[in-house]
């Protein structure tokens, strides 16, 4: 296929002049806004996953009295694994040791059906924070691929 001289001029103009020029203009504007954020004190420092997890758990205030008696002993596990933020929960499940997985599996064995019934007793828009934590803990179980007796 033969390319005409007009097509070549257009291609080389874009490749060597217009493309880099547009990239530089975009970089200039991005740099300007970064400097503006720093000057006004609006710079958002990046946080590590452990800081995000710590911040999430500090905002979470689960009360044992809002959990049925038969599940109150599981509340520490719900606090540890029942993270509503998918990204943070994913980090926690990826970092889980085999011992932690076994502890979770053995603690929930035979109780998932009853926990599901408790969670289902709430209307979706009125679920308590405690029930939501148990629901997210069950999601963590599924993400971990644990085979737990449902009953």
How many whole angstroms separate alpha carbon 103 and alpha carbon 146?
11
How confident is the model at residue 113, as a pLDDT? 92
* Neighbour tally for 143: CB within 10 Å: 16
Burial class (CB in 10 A: 0-12, 13-18, 19+), 111: middle
One digit per residue, the tens of pLDDT, for the chain of length 151 reads: 565 666 666 656 656 666 666 677 777 777 777 777 777 776 555 545 567 777 777 777 888 999 999 999 999 999 889 988 888 888 888 888 899 999 999 999 999 999 999 999 998 788 999 999 999 999 999 999 988 877 6
Half-sphere exposure of 72 (CA within 13 A, CB side): 8
How many whole angstroms separate alpha carbon 56 and alpha carbon 51?
8
**How many Å from the N-terminal Cα to the C-terminal Cα in the chain?**
69
For the record, the structure tokens of 6 come out as 């007009």
How confident is the model at residue 92, as a pLDDT? 86
Q: Which of 84, 83, 140 shows the shortest CA–CA distance to 108?
A: 140
């Amino acid at each position: 296929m033969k390319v005409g001289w007009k097509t070549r001029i257009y291609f080389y103009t874009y490749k060597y002049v217009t493309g880099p020029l547009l990239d530089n203009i975009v970089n200039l504007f991005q740099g300007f806004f970064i400097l503006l954020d720093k000057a006004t004190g609006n710079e958002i420092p990046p946080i590590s996953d452990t800081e995000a997890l710590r911040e999430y758990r500090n905002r979470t205030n689960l009360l044992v009295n809002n959990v049925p008696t038969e599940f109150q002993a599981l509340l520490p596990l719900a606090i540890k694994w029942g993270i509503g933020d998918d990204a943070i929960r994913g980090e926690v499940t990826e970092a889980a040791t085999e011992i932690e997985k076994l502890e979770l599996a053995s603690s929930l064995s035979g109780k998932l059906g009853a926990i599901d019934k408790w969670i289902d007793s709430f209307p979706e828009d009125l679920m308590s924070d405690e029930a939501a934590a148990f629901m997210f803990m069950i999601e963590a179980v599924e993400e971990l691929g644990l085979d737990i007796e449902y009953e």
